[in-house]
Each structure stands twice: as structure tokens, then as C-alpha cells.
Amino acid sequence: MHVVRLDRMSALGVLASAALAFGAAVPARAQLAGAATARAVTGAGPYDVALFTVPATASARGSARLVFAPSPFGVSLSADGHSRYDVRVSVSGLPSPATLGAYTTYVAWAVTTDLKTWIRLGTITNGENLVGPVELNKFLLVITAEASPTPPTHAGPTVLHGTSPSGWMQSLLSHPLFRGITG
């Protein structure tokens, strides 16, 4: 049996190297697993929006991607400096709107996070759809069933919904609903 004696500094160096090697491997695996989970929940990248279903449309699946609205300058901005995006929405499995009531179409909306402002973006069908533009920094993407393709305000049930990437880190504890403010 061969015994190697290390002085105290060498021993600490070996332990530190082993800890770094082992410690780097475990978080890397966890990060990969976490990244896969995050992609499944939030989309694949910083411009993607995962759309979640409601029980009435449980078979529906959807996702959206924010794309810069056309501009001769490469990046489109509103007059007040907000980025302007079109939204490419991919949807499958949506039932006929009539199965949910007296509705004829699905409409996409950009909704402020305080739920006070709803901006109609356009109609949605199964397949690829390009709607917009959106000039909000942080918003909810909501798809509702509606009686008309151009309703002045939302009135029908929500069938799919998601949050823009800039809203992922927002704490809902500041939302008026959770502070007891209802009107």
C-alpha cells in the first residue's frame, strides 16, 4: 500500500478541486433540467410566450412569439419609445367557438397586467396567425371566444392565456386583487 502525504495547503487544494469538480457537475445537471422545465413552461426563448389552456378547451395547445413589427430601421418603436411587436400565434386543438356558446370566432388581446386595458390584436384560428402590433412592455396575451371578429371590448370566455417574457418576474402580490382592492 502506497501512502501519499500532503501538507495542509496541498490537501486543501485537492479538496477544493474535488469540490469544484463535483459541485460544478451537479448544478450543471440541475440547470439543464431546470432549463428544460422552464422551456416547457415559458417557451423556448426570450421572445416566446407559452399559452395555457382552461378546462373548457383542455385539448387546445398554443404558443406565441414576439417578432419586431416592420420598420425601415430594423427595430420598430412607438412614439414614446416602447418596442412594437407583432405576435405570431401557433394554435392547435381549438374547438369550434360555437361549442362554448353564442360565439363565432377567437380573438387575441394584449392586456395590461392590472387587467384594466384590453387591446384587440386580431382573430385567431387553428394554425399560424400573425396579429398585432403590441406596444406594451409587460402584458398578458389572452385569447377569447367572441360573437364578432371585431368586438369593441372582450366579452367571451378565455380559452388560452400567457404572459409576455418581460412579465415573468412580476410579483402578483402587488396586484390590487391580492391587496383587497376590488374597484
Residue 16's domain comprises 1-42
Coil, strand or helix: which one is 77?
strand
pLDDT in tens, the chain (183 residues): 333 343 444 433 433 333 333 333 333 333 333 333 333 444 467 889 999 999 999 999 999 999 988 888 888 888 888 889 999 999 999 999 999 999 999 999 999 988 999 999 999 999 999 999 999 988 999 999 999 999 999 999 999 999 998 877 766 666 665 665 555
CA distance 41 to 37: 6
| Rounded Cα distance, 182 and 178, in Å | 9
pLDDT for res 82: 86
CB-based burial label for 5 (10 Å; 0-12, 13-18, 19+): exposed
Q: What is the pLDDT at residue 113? A: 86
Q: How far apart are CA 50 and CA 34, in angstroms?
A: 16
pLDDT in the model for residue 168: 74
- Total domain count for the chain? 2
Whether residues 105 and 147 share a domain: the answer is yes
In this prediction, residue 44 carries a pLDDT of: 66
Question: Which residues contact residue 76 at a Cβ distance below 8 angstroms, ignoring those fewer than 6 apart?
Answer: 68, 69, 70, 83, 84, 85, 133
Tally Cβ neighbours within 10 Å of residue 36.
10
CA distance to 84, 87, 99, 107, 133, per residue, from 69 (Å) = 6, 9, 34, 19, 7
Q: Are 122 and 141 found together in one domain?
A: yes
Instruction: Check whether residue 15 and residue 52 sit in a common domain.
Output: no
**65 domain residue, yes or no:** yes
Q: Strand, coil or helix: what is 97?
A: helix
Residue 179 lies in a domain: no
CA angle 77, 38, 159 (to 5 degrees): 70
Decide: helix, strand or coil at residue 149: coil
Could you tell me if 28 and 82 lie in one domain? no
Same structural domain, 79 and 114: yes
Give the cell for residue 151: 368586438
Residues 66 and 20 in one domain: no
| Helices (H) then strands (E): counts for the chain | 1, 8
